[in-house]
């Protein structure tokens, strides 16, 4: 399993723990760009981009994050423990 794959496995387990709906689109190069996870919990849409190590979102992913935020969506970048903690803290607050 790749380093990013291990992070996705942890993110998926966390989302399951909080009863979140999640969709992980497969990007094919057609249509609008998306992030790794499109999720919903308690009626709130949120999106997650996962990265391994200290990698950051690409410029295209950054633009997608900005568009989602302008539309009122919540975005998280999870690339390790800090990102997981931020996501989990937010999920706890939704309960």
At 18-66, the pLDDT tens digits run 999 999 988 777 777 789 999 999 999 999 999 988 889 999 999 999 9
Contact assessment for residue 72 and residue 22, using Cβ atoms and an 8 Å cutoff: no
Task: Give whole-number Cα distances, 3 to 6, 19, 26, 35, 79, in Å.
Answer: 5, 25, 18, 17, 10
Q: What is the pTM of this model?
A: 0.91
- The tokens describing 3, both together, are 């380093």
Q: Where are the domains of the chain?
A: 3-94
| Tokens 């380093």 -> residue | 3
CATH topology of domain 3-94: Trna Endonuclease; Chain: A, domain 1 (3.40.1350)
Q: Give the tens place of pLDDT for each residue, 76-86.
A: 999 877 789 99
């Amino acid at each position: 399993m790749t380093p990013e794959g291990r992070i996705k496995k942890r993110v998926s387990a966390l989302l399951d723990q909080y009863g979140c709906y999640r969709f992980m689109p497969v990007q094919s190069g057609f249509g609008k760009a998306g992030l790794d996870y499109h999720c919903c919990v308690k009626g709130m849409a949120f999106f997650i981009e996962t990265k391994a190590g200290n990698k950051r979102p690409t410029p295209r992913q950054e633009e997608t994050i900005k568009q989602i935020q302008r539309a009122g969506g919540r975005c998280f970048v999870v690339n390790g423990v800090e990102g997981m903690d931020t996501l989990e803290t937010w999920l706890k607050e939704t309960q």
